């Protein structure tokens, strides 16, 4: 036989030996419904079992950091909405917090309360949606997700009345918030917050005892306490592994030291715990919201921010407990109105690095659930 | 097996409850049949900016003074302004060209916040599809200009606040102008006084004899 005939066809990269060992390479994504965005997992499968996994991302890269280094500080605010597009409010907040550290602006009391209210509402929105999609990944197509979307819609309507947009809110400013509450907003918010536990109860009966969910999610994608710390996981992912670390309690940024709330912690670090931690976190958020609405003081909503934002040379890192984990902005100023360096520490990007470890040895169908339980938004992973 | 059924049955009960409620409970009926029926949107919704004018004539009543603050503050740089000039080449305080590229605009409202003349506001019109993706989405001055009445219909609360602010600003400017006029008049009077005093001084000198006369 001539050598030409034995050459494999183009793109054929599995040797005969590998085929004999039943190793199959599958590129899952970038357009796969369960990757929640343009994300690819290169899987090596032995039958149904994942023996290797390579996350491939960057399809949604928009140069966020570099753009921010070309425009002035306040002009980056609307771009932060587009990072984690489900949680515009907390992104705004994290960026405002680091800018306020850079130039030391005092934030008025009322603005702090408003930030807490919108931030916790965002947590409800995010967790609602995440749990809905998680159940969707488990195979309960549609119905439970739509219940979650229905509740989320009410909160988004609140955001629309307050800030003008449902998701790209652009609401928080350096030194305060953009506008005060419109008439009747607080009453409506109170109504939704009061009705929320009923929805959570209903959702829990729907899901937590469900045998299929228990069978599919328990002991799947386990991350131990030590591993979670080593992977520098944050947010519900970390707490599901049993580490008591919540930046709202650790840093007590804003006015979080005034509220009475608990941090739910998981014991097993599996998908089910991550799901339950978020469920319980929503209840705690409702508690915080009730206190914040009750205590909301009158007064100014904007501190004394300078007209032209020109910080002295220096650096600042502001971080908050975003719904997905620690969201931080690292700013370096060289004394001009344009940041010298603008770095985002996105929680879902860092949490995603544990994906391979969690998926090895599990089935393909479990890889989908594990990915869902990380709670990624590709806008934030790729920036 | 009985265990298996329990949790799922509970879930099914919830689903069934929701299913039946979706036929008669009002808050479970949120669907709007869109093209026939339109849902009401809040007046605070923001979509794309428009320019405001006062009075009847769009060009004469234009509030924008082409100060280009919004052009510089726009994050994706989608505003394009060229200042107007009269026939002699003297600049007029209004834009000759004011374009907003709505295919780039990210509806962030920063232009509205920086405008010192309350000239630009966010619209909440949403049926904006267009056949021409280049010229059709580049909105020029003529299409951007909307009357103050339009703004009042769009968002009465904010429009009234804006009008009050403008009225207060005008009143302040008027008062300042008056004060300045008064000042200049006083200054002019002062400047005139020394010579007048010189002129008047001779009669003043004559005055002392008058009391003497009266005495
Ligand atoms: S809304 Fe934002 S993006 Fe659009 S024109 Fe105004 S500043 Fe530019
Ligand atoms: S709209 Fe306002 S900010 Fe923009 S050029 Fe006109 S006056 Fe200046």
Report the residue of chain B nearest A149, measured CA to CA: B30
Among B15, B45, B75, beta carbon nearest to A160: B45
* pLDDT tens figures, A225-247: 888 888 888 888 888 888 888 88
- Domain assignment present for residue A273? The answer is yes
A376: in domain: no
Which structure tokens are listed for A296? Answer: 């909301």
- ipTM (interface predicted TM): 0.73
Residue A371 included in any domain: no
Tokens read off for A154: 């009410």
Distance from CA of B10 to the nearest CA of A (A): 7
A240 found inside a domain: yes
A5 belongs to a structural domain: no
Euclidean distance between CA atoms A304 and A173, whole angstroms = 11
Q: Is residue A330 part of a domain?
A: yes
Domain count, chain A: 1
Q: Please, are residues A82 and A383 in contact by the beta-carbon 8 Å criterion?
A: no
**Which residue in chain B has the smallest CA separation from A145?**
B15
Size of interface A-B (CB pairs under 8 A): 72
Write out residues with Cβ below 6 Å of ligand 1.
B 49, 74-76, 78-79, 100, 105-111
What is the Å distance from ligand 1's center to A125 Cα? 26
Range of the domain at A211: 64-361
Ligand 1 atom with the shortest distance to the CA of B112: 6
Smallest CA–CA distance from A178 into chain B, residue = B113
Pick the CATH number of B49-148 from 3.40.630.30, 3.40.640.10, 3.90.1150.10, 3.30.70.3270: 3.30.70.3270
* Tens digits of residue pLDDT in A255-287: 888 888 888 888 888 888 888 898 899 998 998
pTM of the entire predicted model: 0.82
What six digits make up the tokens of B208?
């002392």
Q: Give CA–CA dist A132/A126, Å, rounded.
A: 10
Contact at CB, A209 and B6, closer than 8 angstroms: yes
Give, using CA atoms, the residue closest to atom 6 of ligand 1. B111
Interface test with B, best of A170, A183, A194, A302 (most B CBs within 10 A): A170
Q: What is the pLDDT of residues A107-146, one digit of tens each?
A: 888 888 999 999 999 999 999 888 888 888 887 777 788 8
pLDDT per residue rounded down to tens, chain A (383 residues): 444 445 545 555 555 555 555 677 888 878 877 777 788 888 888 778 888 888 888 888 888 888 888 888 888 888 988 888 888 889 999 999 888 888 888 888 888 899 999 999 999 999 988 888 888 888 777 778 888 888 888 898 888 888 888 888 888 888 888 888 888 888 888 888 888 888 888 888 877 777 778 888 888 888 888 888 888 888 888 888 888 888 888 888 888 888 888 888 888 888 888 888 988 999 989 989 988 888 888 888 887 877 778 888 888 898 888 888 888 899 998 888 888 989 998 888 888 888 888 888 888 888 888 888 888 888 888 88
**A51 to chain B nearest CA, in Å?**
31
- Supply φ then ψ for residue B91, to 5 degrees: -70, 140
Q: Name the residue among B4, B18, B75 with its Cβ closest to that of A78.
A: B75
CA distance B43 to chain A (A): 8
Q: Classify residue A178: in a domain, yes or no.
A: yes
The whole-angstrom separation of Cα B187 and Cα A117 is 57
Indicate whether A140 belongs to any domain.
yes
Ligand 1 atom nearest residue B106's Cα:
3
3-state SS assignment for residue A74: helix
CA proximity to A183, closest of B166, B161, B207, B195: B161
- Cβ(B83)–Cβ(B96) below 8 Å: yes
């Amino acid at each position: 036989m001539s050598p030409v005939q034995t050459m494999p066809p183009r793109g054929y990269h599995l040797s005969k030996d590998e085929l004999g060992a039943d190793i199959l390479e599958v590129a899952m994504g970038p357009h796969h419904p369960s990757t929640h965005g343009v994300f690819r997992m290169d899987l090596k499968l032995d039958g149904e079992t994942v023996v290797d996994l390579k996350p491939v991302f960057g399809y949604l890269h928009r140069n966020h950091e570099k753009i921010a280094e070309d425009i002035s500080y306040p002009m980056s605010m609307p771009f932060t909405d587009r990072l984690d597009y489900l949680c515009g409010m907390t992104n705004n907040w994290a960026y405002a917090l680091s800018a306020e550290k850079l130039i030391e602006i005092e934030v008025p009391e009322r603005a702090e309360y408003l930030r807490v209210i919108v931030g916790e509402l965002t947590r409800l929105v995010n967790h609602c949606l995440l749990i809905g999609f998680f159940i969707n990944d488990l195979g309960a197509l549609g119905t439970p997700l739509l219940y979650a979307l229905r509740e989320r819609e009410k909160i988004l309507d609140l955001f629309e009345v307050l800030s003008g947009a449902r998701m790209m809110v652009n609401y928080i400013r350096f030194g305060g918030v953009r506008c005060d509450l419109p008439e009747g907003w607080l009453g409506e918010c109170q109504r939704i917050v009061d009705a929320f536990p009923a929805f959570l109860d209903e959702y829990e009966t729907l899901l937590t005892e469900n045998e299929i969910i228990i069978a599919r999610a328990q002991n799947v994608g386990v991350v131990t306490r030590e591993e979670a710390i080593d992977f520098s996981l944050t947010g519900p992912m970390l707490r599901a592994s049993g580490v008591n670390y919540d930046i709202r309690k650790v840093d007590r940024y804003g006015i979080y030291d005034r509220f009475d709330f608990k941090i739910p912690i998981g014991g097993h670090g599996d998908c089910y715990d991550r799901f339950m931690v978020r469920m319980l976190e929503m209840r705690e958020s409702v508690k915080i919201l009730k206190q914040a609405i009750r205590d909301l003081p009158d007064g100014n909503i904007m501190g004394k921010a300078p007209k032209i934002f020109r910080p002295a040379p220096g650096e600042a890192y502001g971080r908050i407990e975003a719904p997905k984990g620690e969201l931080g902005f690292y700013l370096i100023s060289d004394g001009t109105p344009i940041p010298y360096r603008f770095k985002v520490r996105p929680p879902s990007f860092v949490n995603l690095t544990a994906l391979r470890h969690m998926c090895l040895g599990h089935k393909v169908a479990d890889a989908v659930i594990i990915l869902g339980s990380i709670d990624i938004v590709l806008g934030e992973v790729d920036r | 097996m009985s265990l298996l059924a329990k949790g799922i049955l509970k879930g099914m009960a919830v689903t069934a409850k929701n299913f039946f409620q979706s036929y008669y409970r009002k808050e479970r009926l949120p669907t709007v049949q869109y093209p026939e029926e339109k849902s009401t949107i809040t007046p605070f919704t923001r979509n794309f900016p428009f320019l405001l004018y006062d009075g009847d004539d769009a060009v004469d009543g234009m509030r924008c003074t082409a100060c280009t603050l919004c052009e510089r503050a726009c994050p994706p740089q989608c505003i394009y302004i060229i200042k107007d000039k009269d026939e002699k080449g003297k600049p007029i305080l209004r834009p000759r060209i004011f374009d907003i590229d709505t295919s780039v605009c990210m509806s962030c409202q920063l232009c509205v916040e920086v405008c010192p003349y309350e000239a630009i506001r966010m619209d909440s019109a949403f049926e904006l599809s267009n056949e021409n993706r280049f010229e059709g989405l580049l909105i020029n001055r003529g299409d951007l200009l909307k009357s103050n009445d339009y703004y009042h219909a769009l968002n009465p609360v904010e429009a009234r606040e804006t009008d009050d602010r403008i009225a207060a600003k005008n009143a302040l400017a008027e008062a300042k102008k008056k004060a300045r006029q008064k000042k200049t008049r006083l200054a002019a009077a002062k400047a005139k006084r020394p010579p007048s005093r010189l002129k008047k001084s001779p009669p003043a000198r004559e005055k002392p004899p008058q009391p003497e006369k009266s005495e």
